[in-house]
Amino acid sequence: MMEIIQSKHWVEWLITICKFGFAFIPVIFILLLIPLERRGAGFIQDRQGPNRSYFKIPYFGRIRLFGWVQDACDGLKLFFKEIYSPSGVNKFIFSIAPAIPFAIVLISPCVIPWFAPMVFTMGDEVIRISGQTVDSEVGILLLFGLSSLSAFGAVLAGWASKSKYSLLGGLRTSAMTISYEVCLGLSIMGLLLLVGSFRIDEIIAWQEANVWGIVAQPVAFFCFLIAMIAETGRAPFDVAEGEPELVAGFHTEYGAMQFGLFYMGEYSHIGINSILVACLFLGGYSVPFVTTETIQSNIGISLAVLCGIFVVAILAFLHLLYRYARWYKKSAASNKQVILREYSLYKILGWAAVVVFAAAGVASALFFHPEFTVIDGQPVYGIGVALGTALIHILVLLVKAIFFCWIWIWVRWTLPRFRYDHVMNLGWKVILNIALINLVVTALIAKLLGGI
């Protein structure tokens, strides 16, 4: 036991344990996705979306956080409702089913690399930490296997509910998951052929060295995205819970937090799938046009650019805030004082953040010039540079993933639901064939040009 512990430096142990925290990133995505979905839907339909829920802060007033409090409202409401089940259901399966999709989501991010492998010197030792929690050779296959397990939740729920609607919904979910799993696997085969590995970190390293997957395999990207949307069971592929036909599909008989678990499982599934698409086709953690070596050798400037981006984003936010506050001051609203008081808080925080980030950026550009030692012809830096690079990489990956989350929502509120036979036709007759042709063409071109 002691030998295992002493085989690694304590910093390595610490970072390895901290990496388990990444399992919760898809769950944190729920907090982002609820307001993004509800207010995004509102904006798309020319509404304002839910913006009225508020926290009351003593001696200050109410803060609405632009509708983010709605997370807490939705969650609390579901959490404190009574859990009940219809008579005659299979109690065990009925109560275990909602937990399955949610539990899968906690496991599946284990193979996703959140940053380039950290290499740094600590004292005399050179420490190397990989970006994913589980350093597995099968990589993406493990992820596909785990995410297709989440269909079990829907199938078991449909089976156990003892309701025709639920059963039909569960049937449709299983049929759709099986169909689109095939398309999902086949559409990325071209990319895997070019990379020559199942490991996601090697796929990202290939994209960093050559071009992004979306440029190398645009057809595969579209097939993959469509199959991904179908696999999460969201519109326009949500035939499993189509309201006009099946009430609510497999979760018809569920209420309270059991329904909430399905809901959260779906949202965090979107989160994990967005991260996966970003990893496979948008270069994952890699910063466009900049290699990891460049970031590490100019870490001070890189962090300064990051701070600069933060400053610009906050200034843009403050601009919108000032403009809206000016309009609100002129309007005849009766709660003018409350809202403007809340906005003044944001203005203070925003300007403080601008000052802090600007100062941090200037300081890091001027004073952060780390020492390095050359090992095997490669410069190796200290832990500060490694952590700074990892921070930039995680943020870049999250930004790409959030962009894909928006695509999920955007597609849902634009396209009408497909009929069930249309979904099957699209899956088996169109996307599968396109993916196969794409694979063959990719293989031919790769053989002719690259001679793999």
Partner 1 sequence: MVRQIKQKPMNWIERLYIFEAFRGLWTTLKHALRGLLRYETLPTVPYPEIKPEISRTYRAKHRLMLRPDGTPRCVACGMCATACPAQCIFLEAAPSEDGRIEKRVLRFDIDHLVCVFCGLCVEACPVDALRMDTCDTSYVFRKREDFVTPMYQLMSWDPKDYPQDDLQSQMAPGGTKNKQALDAWGLKVN
Considering the complex, state which of residue 368 and residue 413 has its C-beta at the smaller distance from partner 1.
413
Contact segment (CB under 8 A) with partner 1 among 73-81, 173-181, 325-333, 385-393 equals 325-333
**Gyration radius of the chain's alpha carbons:** 24
Considering the complex, state which of residue 193 and residue 219 has its C-beta at the smaller distance from partner 1.
219
Contact segment (CB under 8 A) with partner 1 among 37-45, 161-169, 174-182, 256-264 equals 37-45
Q: Using the rule CB under 8 A, is 40 a contact of partner 1?
A: yes
Q: Using the rule CB under 8 A, is 87 a contact of partner 1?
A: no
**Which of 210, 291, 335, 373 contacts partner 1 by CB under 8 A?**
335
**Which of 332, 374, 448, 452 contacts partner 1 by CB under 8 A?**
332
Structure tokens at 442: 């990719």
Considering the complex, state which of residue 211 and residue 399 has its C-beta at the smaller distance from partner 1.
399
Considering the complex, state which of residue 3 and residue 421 has its C-beta at the smaller distance from partner 1.
421
Which residues are CB-neighbours of 364 under 8 A, at least 6 positions away? Answer: 299, 300, 303, 304, 307
Q: Using the rule CB under 8 A, is 164 a contact of partner 1?
A: no
Q: Taking the complex as a whole, how short is the minimal distance between the CB of residue 264 and partner 1, in angstroms?
A: 24
Structure tokens at 1: 């036991």
Angle at 105 between CA 100 and CA 110, to 5 degrees: 130
Are 269 and 180 in contact by the 8 Å Cβ rule? The answer is: no
Please name which of 15, 195, 163, 14 lies closest in space to residue 90, comparing C-alpha atoms: 163
Q: What is the DSSP letter of 426?
A: I
Considering the complex, state which of residue 19 and residue 64 has its C-beta at the smaller distance from partner 1.
64
Pairwise CA distance, residues 238 & 410, whole Å: 15
Q: Using the rule CB under 8 A, is 6 a contact of partner 1?
A: no
Considering the complex, state which of residue 346 and residue 413 has its C-beta at the smaller distance from partner 1.
413
> What separation in angstroms does the CA of 283 have from each of 113, 402, 405?
11, 14, 16
Considering the complex, state which of residue 67 and residue 190 has its C-beta at the smaller distance from partner 1.
67
SS3 128: strand
**Which of 209, 320, 448, 452 contacts partner 1 by CB under 8 A?**
320
Contact segment (CB under 8 A) with partner 1 among 82-90, 329-337, 372-380, 389-397 equals 329-337
The contact mask relative to partner 1 for 401-430 (x = CB under 8 A, - = no) is ---------xx-xxx---------------
Pairwise CA distance, residues 70 & 73, whole Å: 5
Pairwise CA distance, residues 160 & 247, whole Å: 17
Q: Using the rule CB under 8 A, is 445 a contact of partner 1?
A: no
Q: Using the rule CB under 8 A, is 289 a contact of partner 1?
A: no
**Which of 46, 82, 137, 371 contacts partner 1 by CB under 8 A?**
46
* DSSP one-letter string for 328-377: HHHS--TTHHHHHHHHHHHHHHHHHHHHHHHHHHHHHHHH----EEEETT
Q: Number of residues interacting with partner 1: please give it, by CB under 8 A.
A: 27
Pairwise CA distance, residues 306 & 389, whole Å: 11
Q: Using the rule CB under 8 A, is 96 a contact of partner 1?
A: no
Binding site for partner 1 (CB under 8 A): 39-40, 42-49, 51-52, 320, 323-324, 327-328, 331-335, 410-411, 413-415
